[in-house]
Amino acid sequence: MATTLTHRINLLCGDGLAAFRARLSTLAEPDVYAGGLESAVTTMPRHPSVLTEGSSVDIVAFGTCGGYGPPRLTLSVTMVRGHHAWPRDVFWDEAHAWAEAIAEPPLTVAGLTGSQETADGMVFHYRLRVATGADPVPRLSAVRPSGTAAVIRASPGFRST
């Protein structure tokens, strides 16, 4: 289901995703942190949910550099409830699809680092990795709170323009 959702998100929001990816890739550059800057952030404008009518999606990316090694990237996907209370699994699937839609090569989703329910919905935090060299970074699976696995994969053969 996540591959289909990722494809749909890319079709519906391709231009916005491309602009956000460009800003996100800047956070992966060590030069951004020159002069003692330890962290940077970028946001994506709020988008309507593709699965839950009346709900929306807020996305924030964080870059952190402690002065050694490459910057660490984190992506937070917030599924904001509309007037209805939607099942957690719906938010889970859509949040993963948004993370995958954003993380086009050379970025990959390295794993889910946590999630929490808020008064307005659910927030999911992902670690991102920048692939270096000829070998792409392998995708990791995320484990749902219920214990079932949800593998995060890119849409095969699809590139946004």
| Chain centroid offset of residue 84 CA | 24
Q: Compute the CA torsion angle 124, 43, 30, 26 (nearest 10 deg).
A: 120
Q: Which amino acid is at 41?
A: V
Question: How far apart are the C-alpha atoms of 153 and 125, rounded to whole Å?
Answer: 17
> What pLDDT score does 135 carry?
46
Largest CA distance in the chain: 47
User: For residue range 89-144, what is the model confidence (pLDDT) as tens digits?
Assistant: 667 888 999 999 998 888 889 999 999 988 888 899 999 998 765 444 444 344 33
Structure tokens at 75: 């992506």
CA angle at residue 100 from 144 to 147, to 5 degrees? 10
At residue 41, φ and ψ (nearest 5 deg) are: -140, 150
Peptide linkage before 106 cis (omega within 30 of 0):
yes
Q: Which residue has the tokens 């404008």?
A: 45
User: For residue range 16-61, what is the model confidence (pLDDT) as tens digits?
Assistant: 999 999 999 889 888 888 878 889 999 999 999 888 788 899 999 9
Predicted TM-score (pTM) of the model is 0.76
